[in-house]
Amino acid sequence: MGAGMVAPDETTFEYVAGRPYAPKGEAWEAAVLAWRQLPTDDGAAFDNEVVLNADELTPMITYGTNPGMGIPINGFVPDPDKMGDVSQRTALDKALRYMDLQPGQKLLGKRVDVVFLGSCTNSRISDLREAARFIEGRRVADGVRMLVVPGSQQVKAQAEAEGLHEIFKAAGAEWREAGCSMCIAMNGDQLQPGQYAVSTSNRNFEGRQGKGGRTFLASPLTAAATAVNGVISDPREMIEMQMP
Partner 1 sequence: MEAIKIITGRLAPLPMNDIDTDQIIPARYLKVTDKNGLGAACFSDWRYEADGTPKPDFALNKPEYQGAAVLVGGHNFGCGSSREHAPWALLGAGFKAVISTYFADIFRNNALKNGLLPVVVDAETHRQLISLAEEDPSAEVTVDLEAQTVVLPDGRHVQFPIDAFSRYCLLNGVDQLGFLLGLDEHISAFEETHPAWVRTTAN
Binding site for partner 1 (CB under 8 A): 20-24, 27, 66, 87, 90-91, 94, 184-186, 190, 193, 203, 205-208, 211-212
Nearest approach in angstroms of CB 207 to partner 1 is 5
C-alpha to C-alpha distance for 157 and 152, rounded to whole angstroms: 9
Closer to partner 1 by CB, 76 or 98: give it: 98
Closer to partner 1 by CB, 29 or 237: give it: 29
Nearest approach in angstroms of CB 195 to partner 1 is 14
Nearest approach in angstroms of CB 4 to partner 1 is 16
Give the DSSP letter string of the chain.
Answer: ---------HHHHHHHTT-TTS--HHHHHHHHHHHTT-SPPTT---S------GGGPPPEEE-SSSTT-EEETTSB---GGG-SSHHHHHHHHHHHHHHT--TT-B-TT-B-SEEEE-STTT-SHHHHHHHHHHHTT--PPTT-EEEE--SSHHHHHHHHHTTHHHHHHHTTPEE--SS-GGGTT-SS--PPTT-EEEESSS---TTTTSTT-EEEE--HHHHHHHHHHSB---GGGTS-----
C-alpha to C-alpha distance for 50 and 56, rounded to whole angstroms: 15
C-alpha to C-alpha distance for 78 and 89, rounded to whole angstroms: 10
Closer to partner 1 by CB, 128 or 185: give it: 185
Nearest approach in angstroms of CB 22 to partner 1 is 6
Nearest approach in angstroms of CB 144 to partner 1 is 24
Closer to partner 1 by CB, 91 or 128: give it: 91
Nearest approach in angstroms of CB 134 to partner 1 is 29
Closer to partner 1 by CB, 31 or 231: give it: 31
Closer to partner 1 by CB, 113 or 206: give it: 206
